[in-house]
Structure 1
Amino acid sequence: MYKRSEKVGEAVHEIVTGLLIKGLKDPRIGFVTVTGVKVTDDMHYATIYFTVIGDDEAKKGTEAGLNSARGFIRREMGKKLHMRYVPEIIFRYDTSFDTGSRIDELLREIKTHEHHDSEDQ
């Protein structure tokens, strides 16, 4: 059984992804991907999780660009969602991809060390 907030979250995901594909005019917004949307049960807030290709500077620039486009994005959501109240938008960088990459890196290091240890014996 879907909660209404989950359905709204899916719709917000589609809308924001579409806006990013069309291209927001802010040059700070790089190659960004929306990884998830969580809408509160009362529909007042939508936290949009994103990742971006690049270094910390690219992440900060993209987050600043997204935050400055928040009003435009919210207006576009209002046009498409047909809700009495359009959720406030909160952008959060999704660290799960960084964590996953770090785990992969550590596992590769362990494998390399095990391989070298077995050669030494």
Structure 2
Amino acid sequence: MGQLRVEKVQELIKQEISKIVLTEIKDPRVGFVTITQVEVTGDLLSAKIYVSLMGSDEQKANTWKGLQSSLGYMRSEIGKRIRMRLTPTLSLHLDESLNYSAHIQELLLKIKEEESKQ
């Protein structure tokens, strides 16, 4: 499948999943979620959805469970909204890049403080 088509499908799925999570999922466990990236295979049969979760560890765990339980609903909505022969199988993956960048920022600030003390 052409790379341009795969990229378009990825972006379209990302937009639609973001809308679904923001406005349509009524599960009270789902808290603050950001869809950071979607990776679709070349044959368009599976899609990895990378999510970033905010809150305490308990809130993150509850949000993760809520998102996992609503995967079927999200897949059916994607099938209705995007005209494709087959709807991709969705899988959720935790995106730790925001936590990692915050950790790097903390380390850089500590180094800067130590240099200013000397």
Find the aligned partners of 1:86 and 1:67 in 2 and give their Cα distance: 17
Q: Which runs of 5+ in 1 are unaligned?
A: none
1:31-70 correspondence runs (5 A): 31-70=32-71
Q: Percent identity?
A: 39
Which residue of structure 2 aligns with residue 100 of structure 1? 101
Find the aligned partners of 2:79 and 2:62 in 1 and give their Cα distance: 26
When normalised by structure 2's length, the TM-score is 0.92
Aligned-pair CA distance for 1:2 = 4.7
Find the aligned partners of 2:95 and 2:53 in 1 and give their Cα distance: 9
Larger gyration radius, structure 1 or structure 2: 1
Aligned-pair CA distance for 1:64 = 1.2
Which residue of structure 1 aligns with residue 5 of structure 2? 4
Find the aligned partners of 1:84 and 1:65 in 2 and give their Cα distance: 28
* CA root-mean-square deviation: 1.4
Aligned-pair CA distance for 1:21 = 2.0
Runs of 4+ in structure 1 over 3 Å off: none
Aligned-pair CA distance for 1:36 = 0.8
